[in-house]
Amino acid sequence: MESKIPAIEKHRDAYVKIRIIESLDELALGLKLLKEGFSRNSANKVFQSWKAIISALTVINLEKMPRNEKEKEWYYKSGFLAPTTGLKGISQRLEELGYKVNSLTSVALELHRYAYNGLYKGASDYYEREEAINDIIYLSKEIMKVIKEFFKEYWDEEIEEHYNLAEKELMK
C-alpha cells in the first residue's frame, strides 16, 4: 500500500496506522513470494515489514527516543523512518524503553543481507536456503504477534482487514 506519508508531528496517529498497514501488506506479499519459490524476494519483503514496525514504534515514542539534542534532531529529521543503517541502534533504544524488538531486528537484518547477497559465503548469515526460509517464517509469525501486542490502540476495521489477509497467507 502506497500513500502519502503525513507530516510526522501533526499526524502521528495517521502515520503509525499507515506503517502498520504497510507492514501487514509487505508481510502478505513476502509470504506469497515465498510460496512461489522466491526466498530472497520474500526475505526483503519481510525485512521491509519489520522496518515499518520499528518506524511506527519510533513515532509512538518520539519524545522518549532521543537522549540529547543531537539525537532529537536526527529522530525528527530521519530517524523516525527507521533507516536500515540506524535500525540496530533504534531497536536497542526501543528495547531500553521496554519493547522486546532487538533480537528480532537482528533476524530482520540477517534476512536483509540474504535478500541482497544470497548464500554468498562471507556476505550471508545463512549456509543453506532452508535456514533463511526458517527465519522468514519465524520473523513473519513474530511480526503478527508484535502488531497485536504493541498496536492495540490503533486497531480498527481497516487494520483488521489487512491483518486477516496477512494471517491467511501465513496459514497457507
pLDDT at 11: 87
Contact criterion met (CB below 8 Å) for 31 and 140: yes
Helix (H) or strand (E) holding 54: helix 39-60
What are the pLDDT digits (tens) for 8-67? 777 899 999 999 999 999 999 999 999 999 999 999 999 999 999 999 999 999 999 999
Label residue 83 exposed, middle or buried (CB < 10 Å: 0-12, 13-18, 19+).
middle
* Predicted TM-score of the model (pTM): 0.94
Query: Could you give the percent of the chain with pLDDT greater than 70?
Result: 96
* Helix, strand, coil abundance in the chain, percent, nearest 5: 75, 0, 25
What are the pLDDT digits (tens) for 93-137? 999 999 999 999 999 999 999 999 999 888 899 999 999 999 999
Helices H, strands E: what count in the chain?
A: 7, 0
